Amino acid sequence: MLFHVRMDVHIPHDLDADVRADIVAREKAYSQELQRTGKWPHIWRIVGEYSNYSIFDVDGNDELHGILSGLPLFAYMDISVTPLATHPSDIAAG
């Protein structure tokens, strides 16, 4: 199943710099591993924001929830999820 996910990150400004650097590094490693496995095939930065739009290709809601809640930055994120379906006018899907 494909999901469109928007993630808005709100790391507190007073978070210890070393803690912040560690969380951001773990987030990058976690997301890149998911990209390598094909579970997270697309990620785009939203210009001017600490946010991204991503596409996830997972087995279902529970797997996506597990992936998202496993993000090291999860506690500092607002996340919105939209399930996607094939559009009947998509020539690539035909």
Q: Does residue 24 have a pLDDT over 80? A: yes
The closest of 12, 56, 66, 9 to 35, measured between CA atoms, is 56
Radius of gyration of the chain (CA): 15
Q: Nearest 5 degrees, angle CA 40-CA 46-CA 47?
A: 145
**Banded pLDDT at 94 (limits 50, 70, 90):** confident
Instruction: Record the pTM.
Output: 0.92
Percent of all residues in the chain with a pLDDT value above 90, rounded to a whole number: 97
| Paired tokens of 91 | 């020539």
User: In the predicted model, is pLDDT for residue 7 greater than 80?
Assistant: yes
CB 26 within 8 A of CB 72: yes
Query: CATH no. for residue 57?
Result: 3.30.70.1060
**pLDDT above 70: percentage of residues in the chain:** 100
- Per the structure, how many domains does the chain have? 1
CA distance 73 to 36: 19
Supply the mean pLDDT for the chain: 97
Domain region containing 74: 2-84
The answer to whether position 94 is within a domain reads: no
**Does the pLDDT of residue 16 top 90, yes or no?**
yes
